[in-house]
Amino acid sequence: MTDTTTEATVVVSGAAVLLPGADTVRALADGPAPGAAPVEPADHVGRKGLRYKDRATQLGYALTAAALRDAGLLGEDGLTVPAETTGIVASSNFGNLDTVARALDTIREETVTATSPMDLPNASSNVIASSAAIRYGLRGPNLMVCNGETSGLDAVHWAATMIAAGRADRFLVLGVEPDNEVVRRLLGGSRSVDGGAALVLEARAAATRRSATVRAVLGAYRRAADETHRPAGHWELPAHLGSASGAHGVLQVAAAVGWFDAGRREPVRAVAGGAHHDAGAGLLLLAPEAA
């Protein structure tokens, strides 16, 4: 069992959501309505640089830009803080699954020489994190997490841990999952969420220095085989959107930010995994006024 706390030293200073039917944290907290059209990344970041990128990376670009802008970290000329002060942790279990499957099919049916030189860089498991870092100049630590149902909350925890250790002043935490035929086949015919959320986690002192608005405060994090309790204040993705997998925990934190933005002040607990999984994770989120 792991039970740790950031001692209220790490805060959320920015958040973004892109899901069918929800493009703000308030809309996410209220619950996305069914029947909405898929997200079009080009509508948010333009078409430049999207060609040859898998859908998860394209969605990641859009979410990263939105969260950085929400935190006041992205201006017309790029980052408004030194590049080395900002890292990234991304979470996705299915992100480039279609690219990997396509490359393997090509190798099996022909040879490795038949694979596309545009496809192979996207077959790397950390393509989402590395691509977002390159596009937006995030030169701090770079980490990709893809370890199942707890992946999103684990990503938040690792970002907070690196901030507390002084590795960087802030981290962009990205959780994203695409929906495509390959993912649905893996999920037994079920759909994936086809979107996600991004957060800016920041050392409270760093946020104070730049007069950033604190949206939420990170409390204790717990990871254990018996972390299965779904308490009051727990948020779940509407079933019609499908499996959120690696994006789930990040979406839960974004929903808590939406609740706090709306005036709610009681603590919220995000919970992932547990029950039918090997492990569970829980993260306590406190209102902005928390010490």
Name the residue type at position 40: E
Q: State the chain's mean pLDDT as an integer.
A: 89
Q: What percent of the chain has pLDDT over 90?
A: 71
Q: pLDDT digits over 154-188, tens only?
A: 999 999 999 999 999 999 999 999 999 989 999 99
Give the C-alpha separation, 221 to 201, whole Å: 15
Q: pLDDT digits over 62-77, tens only?
A: 999 999 999 999 999 9
3-state DSSP assignment of residue 266: coil
The residue-averaged pLDDT of 127-131 equals: 95
Residue 75 main-chain phi, psi, to 5 deg: -115, -170
